[in-house]
Structure 1
């Protein structure tokens, strides 16, 4: 019946799992505890999230930097190859022009 509405078993399971996680988080925050304990838990969780976010940001910056470096190297290689090809083309053209001038003379 759920399949008819466009819900797969996977999406239902993920929804159930996310609901459980949110419920557990709310239970921790709303459970009868002293204010100090609740604030300490919130602070610890916030610090953990901050550390993980900083770690992910650092990794992302490193990957981006590495990718940019590789792209710059590739660009320089291609630029060098194109420059060589253009120079070779000019030399070949100049040789042909000089051959034609010699034949006309």
Structure 2
């Protein structure tokens, strides 16, 4: 876009310089009287001014169109970005919910396994204590000859 502006600016500058040079050459080469020459210069300057105004308006119109096109493209890109952001946000939210659910399930499973293991260990410990008591009673009977009632065993 700036290359176009630079090209147009160079063209406009060349146009004016060419017009001035042409006017100067016309003055020097013209076999006209002073009044005729002034009229020609006046007419030519009006033509050049009108042409310059037309070119400036055309350049302004192109600049306005380019600005409108750039604005429309920026809005389109902004909308695409919003849509992608919404989609990504939704995907991340869904994935986070899945992970939270999976984590809760795993925690529940581990808690249940922990309860089962704890019950098993509790049962084993109870059996071990009971077996220890029975072994102690048996050993006491063997050593002292007493029974549960505290009486000595008859030999």
Q: Same fold judged by TM-score > 0.5?
A: yes
Unaligned runs of 5+ in 2: 1-20, 105-155
- Partners of 1:76 and 1:23 in 2: how far apart? 48
Deviations along 1:51-72, one digit per CA (max 9) or x if unpaired, are: 0000000001001101110111
Provide TM-score, normalisation by structure 1: 0.72
- Bigger Cα Rg: 2
Number of residue pairs aligned between Structure 1 and Structure 2:
83
1:74 maps to which residue?
A: 73
Task: Output the TM-score relative to the length of structure 2.
Answer: 0.50
In 1: Cα distance, 2:43 partner to 2:65 partner: 33
Identify unmatched segments of 5+ residues in structure 1.
1-21
Where in structure 1 do 4 or more consecutive aligned residues deviate above 4 Å? 22-25
Number of the residue aligned with 1:38: 37
Counterpart for residue 116 of structure 2: none
Show the 5 A alignment for 1:1-105: 26=25, 28-30=26-28, 31-105=30-104
Q: Which is worse superposed, 90-99 or 28-37?
A: 28-37
CA distance in 2, matches of 1:51, 1:24: 16
Cα distance, 1:90–1:60 mapped onto 2, change above 3 Å:
same
